[in-house]
Amino acid sequence: MSRHESQLDRWTPREWRDAPLRHMPQPPQEECPLGVTARLSRMPGLVDAEEVKELRSALRAAAKGQTFVLQLGNPDRHLEDAGDADVSEYLRSLESMQQYLALMLRMPVLSMGLVAGVDAAADGTTIAAYYEAMLAALESMRRHRFHPYISHDAANLHAEEALVRNAGMLDGFYASSTHLLWLEGVPLPALSSQLEFLCGLLNPIGMRVSAHSSPEDLLGIYRQLNPSRETGKIVLVSSLGEDLGRLRHFIGAFRDAAAPVVWMCDPCWAHTAHASNDAGALMQAVTAEVEHTALLHADEGSVLAGLRLEIAHELPVAGRRRLDFQQALRVCSELAGAWGGER
């Protein structure tokens, strides 16, 4: 047993507090949400351990090419004002996209929603409002026949810690705030609050492979989060844009290290930094990236296991552009043509 694996036997949800805060600011002392987080720690979790285990199992199948993962949503969208009608509209969009992609790929498709987590500098009132909103939204989802897994960025560790639950003696701890936790701020140093928190959880972890990433950095994080190298624990989402050729190096590095991952593609992220980007040029770049990513994985003997698309029903006035529903359908069509033709 490695030193790190033995440390996990003693891990507690508070471990991150002794590590440097590399990814989130420290809230001002007068706004420290200790009272709120203490109350949340006694409240029901938003998801349960069995759902997290089911997702891990489904991701293992995806890594083998037996299932395809569709992650769809808006990571900036908060649910404080979302009602049943909003949730129903979102579920209809995601279910329609899932059915369309399953038909095009001729295989099962696993759906995963994408919503905003708690902001890194949120105060106690905001954290409490987030919990209530997510609880209401998930209860609304569960009244539908179709209810996907959910994911968000693990930005506010105060809120995440408060929602950690014990999955039993054999399994340990899991984050009940969501099924999959997204680690957006990589690369991170080996000693960081974010990694110290995530390394003890049962939940799968998603990370982005961008132009600023390196195989060495990502492998270092991988070893810390998944020392047993379990398939289905780590999801890598490539967003390389003009640097797409570097994906071969990442695939090769993880293959040579015998470090299995679930490979996904976010073809939009590198091309949507500004809302004012020309829609025609954007779609040309996005569809080209998803097609070339699929072909590159096939050429490397790898499995492209999923697609992440950030969508919105309206274009933002400023900030990152999101796809609309029709544009997302077009991306799925391009993926099916390239991915299905290389199977």
Query: For the chain, which residues make up each domain, given as ranges?
Result: 3-341
- Rounded Cα–Cα distance for residues 324 and 306 (Å): 19
pLDDT of residue 247: 97
H or E element: which one contains 290? helix 279-299
Give per-residue burial for 58-81: e unless 16+ CB within 10 Å, then b.
bbbbbbeeebbbbbbbbbebbbee
First-to-last alpha carbon distance for the chain, in angstroms, is 38
pTM, 2 dp: 0.91
pLDDT of residue 28: 45
Give per-residue burial for 264-280: e unless 16+ CB within 10 Å, then b.
bbbbbbbbbeeeeeeee
Q: How confident is the model at residue 79 (pLDDT cuts 50, 70, 90)?
A: low
- Rounded Cα–Cα distance for residues 336 and 341 (Å): 8
Residue among 327, 318, 314 nearest 285 (CA): 327
Q: How confident is the model at residue 162 (pLDDT cuts 50, 70, 90)?
A: very high
pLDDT of residue 30: 43
pLDDT of residue 324: 87
User: What is the architecture of the domain spanning 3-341?
Assistant: Alpha-Beta Barrel (3.20)
Answer whether the bond into residue 148 is a cis peptide, omega within 30°. Answer: no
Task: Give whole-number Cα distances, 254 to 18, 31, 104, 141, 260, in Å.
Answer: 30, 42, 29, 36, 7
82 pLDDT exceeds 80?
no
- Rounded Cα–Cα distance for residues 311 and 289 (Å): 17
Give per-residue pLDDT as tens, 191-202.
Answer: 788 899 999 999
Q: What mean pLDDT comes out for the span 3-26?
A: 66
Report the sign of the C-alpha dihedral through residues 147, 151, 152, 157, in that order. positive
219 pLDDT exceeds 80?
yes
Q: What mean pLDDT comes out for the span 133-155?
A: 90
Q: What is the dihedral of CA 164, 180, 237, 11, to 10 degrees?
A: 30
Q: What mean pLDDT comes out for the span 305-321?
A: 72
Q: How confident is the model at residue 315 (pLDDT cuts 50, 70, 90)?
A: very low
Report the range of poorest mean pLDDT among 8-12, 66-70, 222-226. Answer: 8-12
- Rounded Cα–Cα distance for residues 131 and 239 (Å): 30
Q: Between 129 and 276, name the one with better pLDDT.
A: 129
Contact 207, 186 (CB under 8 A): yes
Highest mean pLDDT among 19-28, 161-170, 179-188: 161-170
Q: How confident is the model at residue 177 (pLDDT cuts 50, 70, 90)?
A: very high
Residue among 106, 58, 5 nearest 262 (CA): 58
Percent of the chain topping pLDDT 70: 84
Backbone φ and ψ for 223, nearest 5 degrees, come out as -65, -35
Q: What is the mean pLDDT of the chain?
A: 86
Give per-residue pLDDT as tens, 240-283.
Answer: 998 999 999 999 999 999 999 999 999 988 887 655 567 788 88
Q: What mean pLDDT comes out for the span 177-203?
A: 85
Q: How confident is the model at residue 103 (pLDDT cuts 50, 70, 90)?
A: very high
Q: How confident is the model at residue 24 (pLDDT cuts 50, 70, 90)?
A: low
